[in-house]
Amino acid sequence: MTYDDQNADLWRRPDAGAEPGQTTPPGRVPPAGYAGPPPTDPPPAGWRPPTYVQPPPPRQLAPQDFDKVEAQEKEARTLTYGVALVAAAVMVVLSCLLCSRVLF
C-alpha cells in the first residue's frame, strides 16, 4: 500500500491543534455558515388561466332505507356462515379420508 497518492491528504489525521470534528481538508476554506435558500421571484400577476365555467353545486344523496340495509346485511351474514359450514364439513370429510388411508 502506498501513501503518496494525490488524495492522501484527505485521509490523513488532523493536526494536534485542530478542533475536534473538523473535517475540512487542507487547502480548502470551510463554509462560513448556511446562507439560506436562494431567493425566488414571485410569479407574474396573471399566471393562472382564466376560469369561465363554474361547477354546479353538489347534488343531494338518495335517502337510505336503514331497515332494508339491515335485512341485506343479515342475508349476507347467513350466506357467509352457510358457505363456511359447508367448507368446514368438506375439510372434515377429507381429513377423515386421509387419516383412514394412513391408518389402514
Alpha-carbon distance 9 to 4, whole Å? 9
Q: Where are the domains of the chain?
A: 66-104
Condensed to tens digits (0 to 9), the pLDDT of residues 8-48 reads 666 777 666 666 665 555 566 655 677 788 888 888 888 88
Q: How far apart are CA 75 and CA 61, in angstroms?
A: 25
Better pLDDT: 50 or 1: 50
Say how many C-beta atoms besides its own lie within 10 A of residue 66's C-beta: 8
| Sequence letter at residue 19 | E
pLDDT in tens, 56-79: 999 999 999 999 999 999 999 999
As a whole number of angstroms, the distance between CA 58 and CA 69 comes to 24
Can you tell me the distance from the alpha carbon of 37 to that of 45, in angstroms, rounded to the nearest whole number? Answer: 23
**pTM exceeds 0.85:** no
